Structure 1
Amino acid sequence: MKPFALLRTGLTALALALPLVAAAQEATIRKNLADRVPGLADIDEVRKTPMNGLFEVRVGTEILYTDAEGNYLLHGNLLDTKTRKNLTEERVEKLTAIDFKDLQLKNAFTTVRGNGKRKLAVFADPNCGYCKRFEKDLAKINNVTVYTFLIPILGADSVTKSRQVWCSADKTKIWDDWMLREQAPKGEAACNTEALDANLAFARKYRITGTPTLVFENGSRVPGAINTQQLEELLAKR
């Protein structure tokens, strides 16, 4: 056989073998971690990192790192010193991003300020203290359209208040009265509140576990309250 033919044959064999090796390596990591670490029985993904010998272990949106045998486990940020990038942070941002087109806007109430050109979605609970703090900062932002998705996750009273807001004739006014001025919503909440159930289902699907959770037009997602300056900076990145 000619040298070039031998080389091609060797390269083909190597190409076929590599996926098998990678699969066996992943199986080893999964098995060892599941056997040794409570809570790691259901790993969503195992993949190589740019660092030799280091593997990413993903459970939901949580990122951990391990070696090829699953003997050691690291929790922290992986930094690229050449590019000065936080690889862990970038990975989490990608995993938690929500395409704005996937939002079910019919299940939110809309508030338009100024020209409304910039867009922001907010998942909120009416009894969330951080949400109230955030709403005060949000009220200072102009030229934005805000879609508020009610997700009552803090108890029975949150369900009641969410229904009262959703069933009111002027949702934005009732919401602002409560969140900004402590004027509690009233009424029988006698309307179709399937939107709230749909919002909770959406939150479960996308692992939205806290309020407020913000989704920007470019898909980036921020868990927790941020101030007016931070809001302006993120809205500018749309």
Structure 2
Amino acid sequence: MRIILLVILFAFTLVGHTNEDQLREKIKKNYPDLIIKSIYKTEFNDLYEVFTQDQIIYTDVNFSFLIVEGRVVDPKSKIDLTGKRLEELTRVNFSALPFEKAIKSVKGTGERKIAIFSDVDCPFCKKLEKETLSKLDDVTIYTFLFPLEMHPEAEKRSKRIWCASDKEKAWNDYMLNNKMVKNNGDCKTPIEDILLLGRNLSITSTPTIILSSGKKIPGAIPLKDMREYLAAP
């Protein structure tokens, strides 16, 4: 009897994997450039969740429709299930980040920790620095230089900041006072490594904040919100 049950369970497992594999093939046939990280059958009838680089889309096992920007919401609890699931799928392993390739700033005890992917010429990054980060206490901030292609001078300026004898001061001088350090920026920098890391973490905009819990937060969030995030367990 036990052997029969095991065979049945194994058969169901094979069917599940077969459905997901077949669905993956159908999607890739129509969208060959789409990067699919995972496919998961939800609890809602024949609805499948397809996780791409930074987005969840929905379809059925036959790929007969696509829901690209829809949200699944629990009608009783009113919880955004799509948002909750996306947060789980995009969570970062904070302790595995290459902190030696970041600009480190310690405020007060530095007991709380955050990481930020930031572009030197991003206006929202400067807003975050001036209105939020500069007013925090007891936090260690790891800033990863992440110049975007839309800012043609950002990579050159990032290199000059990294090559400064005091990286933290050079960063703050430029972001808070628009004063660039004087050097040629010709030292070895980790910028290419950070750009690759950002792509692997599906970071597409700046600033992007990563809490020690691994939660990603995009944008120049207000000081009040940041303090609430840091106070959360």
Residue of structure 1 equivalent to 2:56: 63
Q: 1:39 to 1:222 in 2, by over 3 A?
A: farther
Structure 2 counterpart of 1:148: 143
Paired AA for residue 51 in structure 2: R
The one-letter amino acid of 1:170's match is D
SS at match of 1:85: coil
Equivalent residue in structure 2 for 1:97, among 73, 86, 91? 91
TM-score (norm 1): 0.87
Report the TM-score when normalising by structure 2: 0.89
Q: Where has structure 1 moved over 6 Å in runs of 4 or more?
A: none
Preserved CA contact (<8 Å) 1:28 1:70 = no
| 1:207 paired residue number | 202
* 1:227 matches 2:222: yes
Alpha-carbon displacement from aligned partner over 1:197-236 (angstroms, at most 9, x marks no partner): 2222211221222111111111111122211111111111
Task: Give 1:132-171 correspondences, 5 Å limit.
Answer: 132-136=126-130, 137-154=132-149, 155-171=151-167
With 25-34 and 54-63 compared, the bigger mean Cα shift is at 25-34
Contact 2:34/2:52 (<8 A) preserved: no
The unaligned stretches of length 5 or more in structure 1 are none
State the one-letter code of the partner of 1:60: Q
2:65 matches 1:72: yes
Structure 1 residue 172: Cα displacement? 1.9
The secondary structure found in structure 1 opposite 2:89 is: helix
Task: List gaps (5 residues or longer) in structure 2.
Answer: none
The Cα shift of 1:43 comes to 2.8
- Report the Cα distance in structure 1 between the residues aligned to 2:222 and 2:174, rounded to whole angstroms: 20
* Percent identity (aligned): 35
Root mean square deviation, CA, Å: 2.0
Question: Structure 1 counterpart of 2:48, which letter?
Answer: F
Residues 221 and 31 (structure 1), Cα distance of their counterparts in 2 relative to 1, 3 Å cut = same
Deviations 1:169-190 (Å, cap 9, x if unpaired)? 2222221221111223321224
Mapped partners of 1:225, 1:43: distance in 2: 29
Equivalent residue letter for 2:137: N
